Chains A and B, each alone.
Chain A
Amino acid sequence: MTLFEKIKTLYPEFTDDDHINSYVIQNDMDGKGEYLASWSHPTAPRPTEEQLQGVA
């Protein structure tokens, strides 16, 4: 499951605009994979690593 899919699962109410404008998933292609580079949603809190890892 990709990081985007995990966030989509945690926040099913997010619209396309929420996904596009509220956070940045980045992959530096250095073997470490995707990570949450920034989060700026006005109301939804940034998910913790535990929450993300808990999404099946």
Chain B
Amino acid sequence: MAGVILNGSTSGSVTLDPPAVAGSTVITLPSTSGTMLLSNGDGSGLTGISGANFTNNYVRLSGTQLNNAQNSVTKYILETELSDTNGWWDSTNHKFLPNKAGWYQVNCSWTPSRAATGVLQFYHRLYKNGTFQDELGGRNVSYANSTNSGPGHVNCTYFAYLNGSTDYLENYVYTYDYGGGGDGWVTLTHMYISWVGV
């Protein structure tokens, strides 16, 4: 059967044209009146659709200085919770364990430094479920410091999917002192972990 044409009461018409494929296609209309969203519309007339609520869907942390041993990947546990309305940061085990599934964006800034003049290599490594994963981008942050103070911040951005029940994230840091074995000094200046979608 070809399409069905509904003629308007005075002029015009509406044509319902089934797709040219096998099987049935069912269109179910709601029991209330309304306006259908068309593919060439901008959705500006729609109501009742709420955007992502970022008010509470994030944690904000800062930290204090960790003196990291030479050539060691060390869990950073010196966090201070500045904002965590949902209790997503596990301050006992020092990990991010949200009860809301979805994609999370991690933004953080670190200040690495060392005791003497030389070069210090620094990596921030984000671990998911106890394992460092390349796709989280943890290798992308490298830092060389030629003075004895931290001249700037190392900024990091990651995305990670967490299942809202068992998945968690942890911060690890790595330092290597090319000058001969001194500790690297690392401070988490700030960290935001925000839910951004499903």
Task: Using CB atoms and an 8 Å cutoff, list the residues of chain A in contact with chain B.
Answer: 2-5, 8, 16, 19-20, 24-30, 34, 37
Residue ID in chain A nearest B119 by CB atoms: A16
A12 to chain B, nearest CB (A): 13
With contacts A4-B71, A34-B72 taken as known, whether A20 is within 8 angstroms of B77 at the C-beta atoms is no
Question: Does B181 touch A at the CB level, under 8 Å?
Answer: yes
Task: Using CB atoms and an 8 Å cutoff, list the residues of chain B in contact with chain A.
Answer: 69-75, 77, 94, 121, 172, 176, 178, 181
**Contacting residues, chain B, for A16 (C-beta < 8 A):** 176, 178
Q: Is the CB of B73 within 8 A of A20?
A: no
A8 to B71, CA, bound (A): 11
Residue ID in chain B nearest A4 by CB atoms: B71
Q: Is the CB of A27 within 8 A of B72?
A: yes
Q: Is the CB of A25 within 8 A of B178?
A: no
B160 to chain A, nearest CB (A): 19
Q: Is the CB of A20 within 8 A of B74?
A: no
